[in-house]
Amino acid sequence: MKLLAGNSNPALARDIASYLEIPLTSASVRRFADEEIFVEIHENVRGEDVFVIQSTGAPANDNLMELLICIDALRRASAKRITAVLPYFGYARQDRKPGPRTPISAKLVANLITVAGANRVLSVDLHAGQIQGFFDIPTDNLYAAPVMSADIESRFPQHRGRLMVVSPDVGGVVRARALARRLDNAPLSIVDKRRERPGESEVMNIIGDVKGRFCVLVDDIVDSAGTLCNAAKALMEAGAEGVVAYVSHGVLSGGAVARVEGSLLTELVVTDSIAACEAVAGAAKIRRLPIAPLVGEAMRRISDEASVSSLFD
């Protein structure tokens, strides 16, 4: 078993290597003067089970290209099996045609990874479960819910019995219900929102009685943070005692960090699937949860041909 890290999230790659007690494979991933990406692996990987750790967040195209070239280099070096480990799978929100003459980019990216030579894919909280079907190779989708539920129980024991899990939209109900089940079957509420254009949403109604409840908003991706901040405001106006948000992937682009800092959210908790920019690292209301043990254990089980799904039993 060997681990190869791209440049998208070196801190997470080091944490995974530390958990597995395996050193990262020596390699150079660099750019020529014209920004072409070049990969050179400095160790023998012939016949090895190799895991390439690379999130495809911003800059999404550069990180995706790095991943593809790493996979191609390993394939040409005769690696026995190549697993693409994508803690965050970019382009996942483009999983369907929202209108005429538009692409399904998530499927295109899946095709690129497969054709490059990957034998397997491992990701965390895909935006839509059906993206697993976009790949023609085995795909494992890990869930951050166990990590989140453990953190909620340890951080907010004083609110036990008053917790309410809230989905910021109808599409996230399955995810919210899974977390609620882990929190002693906490009640569930849904925010009814309308999105007129990308990056902008308006809360229309709160489905469920949140008065006197400590609300936990749960989502898979926070980008502009407009939805979460608007939902937090609506929940507080409906009588909620407090609102925290737990999100798997902190994209946090543009003015999202400032928006969170000025919102009614008590705290925004994201995993470290995406490397933290300077603004995120210095934000008072944003905290990061480590997922290296979760991803590392899944990688170990894949290498040992053991069950991955039993991680969530």
Cα–Cα dist 257/282, whole Å:
10
**266 annotated to a ligand binding site:** no
* CA end-to-end distance (rounded Å), the chain: 26
**127 annotated to a ligand binding site:** yes
Q: What is the largest CA-CA distance in the chain?
A: 61
**105 annotated to a ligand binding site:** no
Cβ atoms of 46 and 76 within 8 Å: the answer is: no
**226 annotated to a ligand binding site:** yes
**31 annotated to a ligand binding site:** no
**94 annotated to a ligand binding site:** yes
Q: In the Cβ-directed half-sphere of 220, how many Cα atoms lie within 13 Å? A: 23
Cα–Cα dist 44/271, whole Å:
33
**21 annotated to a ligand binding site:** no
Query: Is 193 an active-site residue?
Result: yes
Among residues 2, 107, 193, 211, the one annotated as catalytic is 193
Cα–Cα dist 277/72, whole Å:
29
**241 annotated to a ligand binding site:** no
Cα–Cα dist 113/116, whole Å:
5
**272 annotated to a ligand binding site:** no
Extract the annotated binding site for ATP. Answer: 34-36, 93-94
> Residues forming the annotated binding site for D-ribose 5-phosphate?
195, 219, 223-227
- Known binding-site residues for Mg(2+) equal 127, 169
Residues contributing to the annotated binding site: 34-36, 93-94, 127, 169, 195, 219, 223-227
The residues carrying an active-site annotation are: 193
